[in-house]
C-alpha cells in the first residue's frame, strides 16, 4: 500500500494553508488568527498567502457558469 501524503503544514501547530486560508476567507483577521493560535506568527500567514498565490499561478482554471433554467 502506498504512503499517504499529508498536506503541507507549518510548525508547530500543523495548520494547513487551506485551513488558514479558510479562516481568512470567512472573515477572520490576521490578528484574530494570531491571537487564537499561540505560536503562529505574522510571517506564517504571509507564507500561507504566498503558497496560495503560487498554487493559483501554476494552475489553469475554467470559468463555470450555471446553465439557464
The predicted model scores a pTM of 0.66
In tens digits, what is the pLDDT along the chain, a chain of 69 residues? 455 555 555 556 778 888 999 999 999 999 999 999 988 999 989 998 998 899 888 878 777 887 765
How far does CA 27 lie from the centroid of its chain?
13
Q: Say which CATH topology domain 8-69 has.
A: Arc Repressor Mutant, subunit A (1.10.10)
Inter-CA distances, 1 with 4, 5, 8, 20, Å:
9, 12, 21, 31
- Residue 30 has a CB neighbour count (10 Å cut-off) of 16
Radius of gyration of the chain (CA): 16
Q: What does the pLDDT read at residue 64? A: 80
Amino acid at each position: 500500500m502506498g504512503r499517504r501524503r499529508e498536506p503541507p503544514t507549518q510548525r508547530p501547530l500543523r495548520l494547513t494553508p487551506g485551513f488558514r486560508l479558510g479562516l481568512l476567507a470567512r472573515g477572520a483577521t490576521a490578528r484574530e488568527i494570531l491571537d487564537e493560535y499561540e505560536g503562529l506568527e505574522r510571517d506564517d500567514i504571509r507564507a500561507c498567502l504566498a503558497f496560495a498565490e503560487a498554487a493559483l499561478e501554476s494552475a489553469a482554471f475554467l470559468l463555470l457558469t450555471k446553465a439557464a433554467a
